[in-house]
Amino acid sequence: MRLPPPRIALAATSVRNSVLKFTRAVVPPGAAVLEMVQGAWNAQALFTAAKLGISDVLADGPKSAREVAETIGADADGVARLMRHLTTMGLYKSTRSGAFRLTPMGDVLRTGTPGSMRDMVLWVGAPEHRDDWDELPYSVMTGKTGVSRIRGKGLFEYFDDNPELSETFNGAMTSVSSLVDESVLAAYDFSGLGTIADIGGGHGSFLSDIVSSTPGTRGILFDLPSVVAGNVFHQRGLADRCEAVAGSFFESIPAGADCYILRIVIHDWAEEECLTILGNVRRAIKPGGRLLLVELVLPDDPSTPHPGTLTDLEMLVSVGGRERTRAGYAELFAKAGFELARVVPTATPMSVVEGRPV
């Protein structure tokens, strides 16, 4: 589905936030809190539908709950009750015959389809990840990650010993990245930039999209050796305009690019690590170059609803990073030798935070 222009998306978000604030103001406080806490049950309902592949079963047309249950080998009554609730959430729609069909939201729970969020739902609902969130009181009390308390190591180190969970996480990040990448390409003008370096850019899909749509631009993909080895430049016909460089952004970064992009990277790390990464960019960037962070930017008003507040708690629990406001990014940039030039909103909650070296 095509994303709306950023101004339309921002207007829609503003209206939704206003309605939410009004609803919470008029609904009895106890009822409002009850609805909030039941959000955990909604997440598990989504996880169950994704895990069982219910949307995949409905991909070729409406089916009754019994037909779905027979296909997936589940209890017909349990499936009917689950699908009835998910219908109230807008994922499915009941027909006159009592069957269920997919809605656009239900469609993004399908496996391997463009724009699918199934992997993200599976990550959020994974039992191990729920265990991490059970440690939120510990993280709030100590400022330390829940992962380190129950796993004895960091999240990414834990993935090394748990390849199945790592695959779920990577799938979740890929699904989010595809949505984010489309919104960034629509909102930010990359024209006039000679060389663009995507730091921590994975296999180079996003960089390929930029270079393909921007005549005269060259690309540098920088990531760990095992990652850049799988770059997509040859299959995208861009091997003559893009190069892959292996390394660690904690050690050094390829020098001489006009623009450095870090997409959903900085929020993963504590401030000390962030300053190491940005310091390496500062040493590598050309005078007058651009630093672009693609991140959630929290509203200045703490009462404004924003998905970044939940992601901020996810960072606290899992990896020790954080989300920031515009002022927070300005402060971080200043410490690393940059100044905040502007924040460019997109049609998603993500923004492009642009910095210039000083």
33-73 confidence digits (pLDDT tens): 999 999 999 999 999 999 999 999 999 999 999 999 999 99
Q: What residues does each domain of the chain span?
A: 38-110, 187-357
Beta bridge partner(s), residue 286? none
For this structure, is 85 an active site residue? no
Q: Report percent pLDDT > 90 for the chain.
A: 88
Q: Report strand pairing: 100-102 vs 92-94.
A: antiparallel
> Taking residues 210-222, what's their average pLDDT?
96
Reported CATH class of domain 187-357: alpha beta
Beta bridge partners of residue 246, listed in sequence order: 223
Q: Which of 129, 203, 234, 267 is catalytic?
A: 267
Residues contacting residue 334 through CB under 8 Å, at least 6 positions apart: none
**Which is nearest to 13 in space by CA: 327, 309, 341, 304?**
304
Q: What is the pLDDT of residue 200?
A: 96
Could you tell me which of 177, 217, 218, 234 has the C-alpha nearest to residue 200? 177
Task: Say whether pLDDT at 263 is over 90.
Answer: yes
Where would I find the H helices in the chain? 6-26, 29-37, 39-52, 54-57, 65-72, 76-88, 104-107, 118-125, 127-134, 136-142, 146-151, 155-160, 163-187, 205-213, 225-228, 271-284, 307-318, 326-336
Could you tell me the pLDDT band of residue 24, with boundaries at 50, 70 and 90? confident
pLDDT over threshold 80, residue 3: no
Three-state SS at 196: strand
Bridge partners (DSSP) of residue 77 are: none
Cα–Cα distance, 320 to 32 (Å, whole number): 30
- Under 8 Å between Cβ of 293 and 266: yes
Instruction: Look at 13-17, 115-119, 199-203 and tell me which has the smallest mean pLDDT.
Output: 13-17
Question: What's the pLDDT score for residue 44?
Answer: 97
pLDDT grade for 16, boundaries at 50, 70 and 90: confident
Q: Cα separations (Å) of 83 from 45, 76, 96, 119, 357?
A: 9, 10, 15, 19, 53
Exposed/middle/buried for residue 267 (C-beta within 10 Å: 0-12, 13-18, 19+) = buried
CA–CA gap between residue 216 and residue 92 (Å, rounded): 46
Q: Enter the pTM of the model.
A: 0.91
Position 6 confidence tier, pLDDT thresholds 50, 70, 90: confident
Fold adopted by 38-110 = Arc Repressor Mutant, subunit A (1.10.10)
User: What integer best gives the mean pLDDT of the chain?
Assistant: 95
Any idea how long the chain is? 358
- The confidence band for 178, taking pLDDT boundaries of 50, 70 and 90, is confident
Q: Give mean pLDDT, residues 131-141.
A: 97
Query: Which residues are CB-neighbours of 248 under 8 A, at least 6 positions away?
Result: 224
| Residues facing residue 219 across a β-bridge | 196, 242
